[in-house]
Structure 1
């Protein structure tokens, strides 16, 4: 894959800068207390320009997790092992490196961001769309039939619940080192049960389509 050109790099930089400014304001004052006009002024751009990049106010926050949309599908498509095994390995590797998406991260900025995300109803609702698109992409990677859609729903639910449990414990004051063994054990147990529940053609084979 070729490197993005200058124009695309500038566009991505704009996304990142404006999102960072917005998140900082939301953390300082609260999501509902900050207007889009205030974000645009802080970023030194016009409201129409801001809306060209972020169609909804919630997108200013969700840009932080946009890269993870479809991640499970990408893992499955790239793997040379059964889908559940590949996703289990990927999640456990995420725990090892304290990837924020696993919930096992105690950095104050990460905890504050998750508190903003999970504590704001409109953001939770918008994030549900992110979850649905990720689930649909995973179902397609698993074959696209009813079995694949059922499997994708179960897998995405497990990923979400595992991450939420880790974040809630750390947000409540537990240290990452204290949560880690339970997080690893819970992930192994959950993915083991997932594997048992999968139809044989999803449990035992590596994906044929590695687009």
Structure 2
């Protein structure tokens, strides 16, 4: 998700092996180095080589984990978690309510567990057009992934046009809400903004 996906509660998380834990630690170190350098010297002036040195890894390692510099800010490991969470929602629940619950839980958890990273991500996304553009691309990728779960839950074919439009619309809501939240100083309740935005998607704009 990019922009706002999050891990499930501790008791629901699978136990990771040593290799997986090392990968997560390396990714976290790269992200932390990136945010620190960006805060000190700006996004454009920060190079992948500088990030690698600060994270004590090679530039090739940075690119192995993150294909572009923008991905360092935007990419996380939780898209599969969100897909699983949608599949685990109660049978017969309307798709919009399933996605609402999953997205709200995601942002509430990440703001509780990683508030500084969430706020720094929002600031960079707001200020750097390249990051915002890449965010649109990564959210489209997340939308296609989540649409598989939505299709299965609604008895439709994977790739069904209406499913893709529906899921993409909800992800567009998340994108615009995140931008709005950042534009307004990150002071609002992000989960409440998601609720408000999805209500407007469901009911349309009143004349």
TM-score (norm 1): 0.70
Pair 1:136 & 2:144 matched: yes
What are the equivalent positions in structure 2 for 1:38-187 lying under 5 Å apart?
38-63=50-75, 66-69=76-79, 73-80=83-90, 81-93=93-105, 97=108, 99-100=110-111, 110-143=118-151, 144=158, 145-171=160-186, 176=187, 179-180=188-189, 184=192, 187=194
Measure the CA separation in 1 of the matches of 2:179 and 2:80.
19
Measure the CA separation in 2 of the matches of 1:135 and 1:187.
16
Contact 1:70 1:133 in 2 (8 A): no
Q: Name structure 1 gaps, 5 residues minimum.
A: 198-211
| Worse-superposed segment, 85-94 or 110-119 | 85-94
**Structure 1 residue 68 displacement after superposition:** 4.4
**Structure 1 residue 13 displacement after superposition:** 0.8
Number of residue equivalences: 182
Contact 2:110 2:118 in 1 (8 A): no
Measure the CA separation in 1 of the matches of 2:199 and 2:59.
49
Q: Hey, what does 1:202 align to over in structure 2? A: none
SS of 1:137 mapped into structure 2? helix
Measure the CA separation in 1 of the matches of 2:96 and 2:15.
31
Pair 1:3 & 2:15 matched: yes
Of structures 1 and 2, the larger Rg is shown by 1
Q: CA RMSD in A?
A: 3.1
SS of 2:69 mapped into structure 1? coil
| Worse-superposed segment, 148-157 or 36-45 | 36-45
Q: Name structure 2 gaps, 5 residues minimum.
A: 1-12, 152-157
Contact 2:104 2:191 in 1 (8 A): no
TM-score (norm 2): 0.71
Measure the CA separation in 2 of the matches of 1:12 and 1:98.
18
**C-alpha offsets along residues 71-127 of structure 1, whole Å, 9 cap, x if unaligned?**
6543321111222112223444557x47449xxx9x666433311122112212222
Measure the CA separation in 2 of the matches of 1:137 and 1:67.
13
In structure 2, the CA distance between the partners of 1:3 and 1:155, relative to structure 1 (3 Å rule), is same
Pair 1:15 & 2:23 matched: no
Q: Hey, what does 2:9 align to over in structure 1? A: none
